[in-house]
């Protein structure tokens, strides 16, 4: 999946917490968010930066849950991020894992 495809898919499925997301889809969208936030912060508008950050909350939660589904974990594991530092490190560990090769409880292998 390319950068543009991943970004379009994640924005199109911005509230779809079902199914699976490949590693490339997740990490390309993560990169898109980082680049967008850096560019907006360089422009100096805190209001626009806050609005864009708020607009990206649901798509990032949805792709994060779908990525956890891809490795066979529940999307509810995103709540572990509430534990400072350790929670985020645990999530990164799950997010970098390879996809389960066959279908799992959350659907077929993503394209």
pLDDT in tens, the chain (111 residues): 899 999 999 999 989 999 899 999 999 999 999 999 999 989 878 888 889 999 999 999 999 999 999 998 999 999 999 999 999 999 999 999 998 888 788 888 876
Which is nearest to 30 in space by CA: 42, 19, 40, 38?
A: 38
Task: Report if residue 110 sits inside a domain.
Answer: no
- Decide if 91 contacts 30 (C-beta within 8 A): no
Task: Report if residue 100 sits inside a domain.
Answer: no
Task: Report if residue 87 sits inside a domain.
Answer: yes
Q: Which domain holds residue 16?
A: 3-95
Domain count for the chain: 1
Does the pTM exceed 0.85?
A: yes
Task: Report if residue 21 sits inside a domain.
Answer: yes
């Amino acid at each position: 999946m390319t950068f543009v495809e991943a970004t379009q898919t994640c924005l199109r499925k911005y509230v779809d917490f079902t199914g699976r997301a490949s590693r490339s889809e997740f990490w390309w969208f993560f990169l898109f968010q980082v680049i967008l936030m850096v560019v907006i912060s360089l422009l100096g508008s805190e209001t626009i930066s806050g609005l864009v950050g708020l607009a990206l909350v649901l798509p990032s939660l949805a792709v994060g849950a779908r990525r956890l589904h891809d490795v066979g974990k529940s999307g509810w594991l995103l709540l572990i991020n509430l534990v400072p530092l350790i929670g985020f490190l645990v999530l990164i560990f799950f997010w970098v894992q390879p996809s389960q090769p066959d279908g799992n409880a959350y659907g077929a292998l993503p394209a």
